[in-house]
Amino acid sequence: MMNRRALIGAATGILGLASSAGRIAAAASSAIDPSASGWFAKRHLPIGLQLYTVGDEARKNIDATLARVAKIGYRTVELAGYHGQSVQALRAAGNRHGLKFTSIHVGATGRPGEPGLDQDLPKLAADLHALGVTDVVMPMFPIPDRFGGPKDGEGFVPYMQRVTAGLTRDDWQRTADLLNDRGGKLRAEGLRLGYHNHNQEFAPLGNTTGLDLLLSGTSADAVSFEIDVGWVAAAGVDPVALLKRHGRRFQLMHVKDIKPSTKPNFALQQDPTEVGSGKLPWPTLLPAAFNAGVRKFYVEQEPPFSMDRFAAIEKSLAFLKAFDDGVVKL
């Protein structure tokens, strides 16, 4: 672990320079090219894919999966762990198909063959640098041990309802403390740690919510947030208002849509659909995200699918490429 004062001091100085350079780069990336076609192209923003969307296909055959993703037109990918691959095999497959891995989801606890924030962080950082990622995102809060797993006959949704109803301020503070600790250490390794929301974070907790406690309890220098707008909407919350309220804390985004039939809830339930086919207000949402500082956008869709998963990600990409300042030019 990097705990020697000299190393930390040196790293802090280097990161200060990197932060200044990052602000300059961010300002440059805000310039709009009116000659380009499409909202993303005008802002020089790639449209990425969260590889979780294709399900088990990546684990079954990573090379064939990435080949299809690249053929559809994606150039950047957010990984959901290592998808059952070695770091070397994963990087080689990405290189073969011209794909950049720019972000990765890493759970609070690792499992065999998959990364975790409880592992040797310098070793984890070295592996992630080998993949080329710069953002590490904790995909969900750690479930406190007292809840155990689902009881006999208890389905996943009822289990998550029970967990969400039983979470306390102290639970959310422990998650914030974990994020601050790991975020500071990963920052010293040249990586940025973020937190990805579902809809449990919006469950009322007195006069606050879990997300409010995470935002207020984490350091902006150590922890960023990846806004999953589909899950925000599934909680009955306006993602545009959320982005405006919390400004620069959100730096990554899951571009996700849901059907109007989705009933607001806090227990991992939604009626998913392809981007542009649901209820999300993209003409106001995408500019709000950009103005808040989001620069990494990843298409993601939850199951069940109404079509083949690859057809779904192709449909979503086509919509986003055709989207141009509030008008879809298909």
What angle do the packed helices 121-131 and 87-96 form, to 10 degrees?
A: 20
Please write the tens of the pLDDT for every residue from 281-296. 999 999 999 999 999 9
* 11 has a pLDDT exceeding 70: no
pTM check: above 0.85: yes
Rounded to whole angstroms, how far apart are CA atoms 320 and 329? Answer: 10
User: At residue 136, what are phi and psi to the nearest 5 degrees?
Assistant: -115, 125
Q: Residue 158: is the preceding peptide bond cis (ω within 30°)?
A: no
Structure tokens at 205: 């907790």
| Mean pLDDT value across residues 206-225 | 98
Rounded to whole angstroms, how far apart are CA atoms 120 and 41? Answer: 39
Q: Is residue 122 a contact partner of residue 1, using CB atoms and an 8 Å limit?
A: yes
Domains of the chain, CATH where assigned: 32-328 (3.20.20.150)
The Cα-based distances of 142 to 67, 93, 109, 171, 226 in angstroms read 34, 31, 8, 9, 17
Please write the tens of the pLDDT for every residue from 139-165. 999 999 999 999 999 998 899 999 999
Please write the tens of the pLDDT for every residue from 221-230. 999 999 999 9
Please write the tens of the pLDDT for every residue from 39-83. 999 999 999 999 999 999 999 999 999 999 999 999 999 999 999
Vertex 124, ends 96 and 131: CA angle to 5°? 15
In the numeric block, the tokens 């479930």 are attached to: 143
* pLDDT value, residue 329: 60
